[in-house]
Structure formats: structure tokens, C-alpha cells
């Protein structure tokens, strides 16, 4: 296993909710990453994040790891949930909140 895959796995295992994004939660550097940050903040869940713009290795590594071509990517309890469109659709339908609650993650607000 490459170092980048080990880093990705460590992040996913050590954070119940993990977001691989462009930028940081305080300063998202793309609109899609910003939308997922807004949703997670609205729900009041604690989450870890990794800025894929820091290294090409991480940016390409997360795409290969998940077999998903776009960023951001959200993981809940080690499971890949999806990118911005999927997260937004799940949130609007109330499915993201249910998914998190079923995984044992406290959600402060629902849509």
C-alpha cells in the first residue's frame, strides 16, 4: 500500500465524518467543496478535512482510492458517501441526516 493510501485510510478511520475537499472548511477553494462544508456545518456534525490542493499525490490518490473522479468526497464511518451532488440531494431529501444518525453521529439540525 502506498503512503498516500495509508494517509487516506488513517484519516477515514480516525474521523467518523471525513471530507476530502479543495481548500479548508474556513476557506473552501471551490464552490462544490463550499456547499458540502455548508451542509455539514448546518447539521452541526464534527468532521475532519483534508485539502487535496496541498499535493498532487493526495488529489490523485483520493480519486484512485474511491474510484470516484471528482472532489469533494465525503466519508461517514469509513464508507464513501459521494460528492457534492449526491451529498446535496441526500441532504435535501433528509437522507443524509438519517444516514448520519443511523451511523451513530449526532445531528443538531434537520432540513
Q: Phi and psi (nearest 5°) for 66?
A: -90, -10
Question: Can you say which residues are annotated as belonging to the binding site?
Answer: 30
Question: Can you say which residues are annotated as belonging to the binding site for [2Fe-2S] cluster?
Answer: 30
Amino acid at each position: 500500500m502506498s503512503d498516500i493510501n495509508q494517509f487516506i485510510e488513517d484519516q477515514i478511520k480516525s474521523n467518523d465524518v471525513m471530507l476530502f475537499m479543495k481548500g479548508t472548511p474556513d476557506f473552501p477553494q471551490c464552490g462544490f467543496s463550499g456547499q458540502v462544508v455548508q451542509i455539514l456545518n448546518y447539521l452541526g456534525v464534527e468532521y475532519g478535512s483534508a485539502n487535496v490542493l496541498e499535493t498532487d499525490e493526495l488529489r490523485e490518490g483520493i480519486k484512485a482510492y474511491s474510484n470516484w473522479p471528482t472532489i469533494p468526497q465525503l466519508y461517514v464511518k469509513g464508507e464513501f458517501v459521494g460528492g457534492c451532488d449526491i451529498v446535496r440531494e441526500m441532504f435535501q431529501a433528509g437522507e443524509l441526516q438519517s444516514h448520519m444518525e443511523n451511523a451513530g453521529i449526532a445531528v443538531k439540525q434537520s432540513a
